Amino acid sequence: MKINLKQEIKTSYAVAIIATVAFFAGANFVLYTKNIKFEEPEIVVATKKQHKTLPVNIAKRPKPQPVSMEKLKAQGCVADGLLSEYNPENENFVALINRSNCYYLHRAIETWLKPPDFETVGYVMNQIEKKDLVYGMFIAEAINFRAHYFNELKNEEFSFRDMCREGSENVWGEGTCKPNFASQEYRDYIQYITQKAIDAGVQSFTFGQIYMQEDAKKDYAPKIVSKMRAYAKEKDVDIVIGAQTGSISDENYLKLFDYIEGGVGLAEDGSVEDGPCYSGRGNCWALLWHKNFSTKAKNVLLHLDWTGIPSDDLDIFARMDQEKRAQTLDSLYKKFSAQKMGFMMPYFGVLYKDNGGCRGPKKKFYSPDNSYSCKDEDAINNILAGKSINSTISEISSNKTGT
């Protein structure tokens, strides 16, 4: 397979602004570039968390049911960091999921600059009452080369510095880099955390901006994906594997994955563009429902992209009024469902710190929970249940007029 990754990798180093933002009790560093997806990095050294009660041994969990891709596309929810306790009020997050109509929890394990803590994963899983769920893990395109994480198979710590792509140190902030599939240490790390995740009951794995992780000279993804599938087969667990493939259009490469995933490029009026590239970004920020990509992929998953900047999907969405948000979600869901694609509902994401719209537990986080100011929970549940949102919109309008 030949894929044109050199330009993807080269242009991703063009830095426009580096901004420092607060994230929980630590510091975050967001890299502003023209052609990449921004994230909410967190510098983490230790991964252990103390809880009042010990988690059940996750290895003893019942084997999960096979994944229904159609149901995954119809009832997908972006639950970023749910099992990693990213939400500062994670118990409320768990309660929100318990009363939701979600089937798939996208990015429930978040690895952005933070190796996964499977004790925490087990602890949070124990709080979730819904059983017919597919949990997702995000394999991030950003690592903290100062992190400490023990490799039980080799009885030594991983060397995250050895995983870094040359020239990418501090690209996401001090102590960070982009990992490289060409690094054996990084491939070992991927194999280790995905096997632990499969043992824990995780069934969906998403590679973040895979063109940043891939090696331009040699395609490593086929071997990595093959090993993941082989382990799942050995454990008799059904898994699906996806990737943020950006503007990669090589059909053989795209079909390695069960799905490709990306944002929608939302406009202020709730519409999205029809072209292959979002005009609001430089180079090609790919709109994956376009035939250039979707016709070459097995499945397409879409969501409101978040980056912690005012012009991104989730920030634009949060600045809409409640009625407009409900209409926008309903419209996007119907649009992409009609094209046999999945539009995943937003359940947690990062906002620009001074976004000025509705918010979740803190002003820099979005949540649809009715306990916070957005109150999108009822509309989302109706959409996922295949119900009309007219009654919800009428109620919103009544509340506006005070009738």
Band (pLDDT 50/70/90 cuts) for residue 60 is low
> Closest Cα to residue 286, out of 329, 249, 339?
249
Greater model confidence, 32 or 256: 256
CATH class for the domain made up of 6-401:
alpha beta
Parse the chain into domains and list their residue ranges. Answer: 6-401
Asked if pLDDT for residue 210 goes beyond 60, the answer is yes
Asked if pLDDT for residue 22 goes beyond 70, the answer is no
C-alpha count within 13 angstroms, C-beta hemisphere, residue 99: 10
Asked if pLDDT for residue 165 goes beyond 80, the answer is yes
Band (pLDDT 50/70/90 cuts) for residue 283 is confident
- 3-state DSSP percent of the chain in helix, strand and coil, to 5: 30, 20, 50
Asked if pLDDT for residue 32 goes beyond 60, the answer is no
Helices (H), 201-319: 210-213, 221-234, 251-254, 291-294, 313-318
**Amino acid residing at 316:** I
> Closest Cα to residue 361, out of 99, 90, 112?
90
Residue 4, pLDDT score? 52
Residue 196, pLDDT score? 98
Asked if pLDDT for residue 270 goes beyond 70, the answer is yes
CB-CB contact of 141 with 71 (8 Å): no
pLDDT tens, position by position, 322-335:
999 999 999 999 99
Band (pLDDT 50/70/90 cuts) for residue 232 is very high
Give the chain's count of helices (H) and strands (E).
13, 16
pLDDT tens, position by position, 11-20:
343 333 333 3
The pTM assigned to this predicted structure is 0.87
Q: Give the number of residues written for the chain.
A: 403
Query: How many beta carbons lie within 10 A of that of residue 33, not counting itself?
Result: 19
Residue 3, pLDDT score? 56
Q: Which of 54-58, 84-88, 238-242, 397-401 is least confident?
A: 54-58
Q: CA angle at residue 176 from 152 to 355, to 5 degrees? A: 120
Q: Which of 12-16, 170-174, 208-212, 286-290 is least confident?
A: 12-16
Q: Cα dist. 157→44, 147, 258 in Å?
A: 15, 10, 32
CB-CB contact of 42 with 24 (8 Å): yes
Average pLDDT over residues 370-398: 91
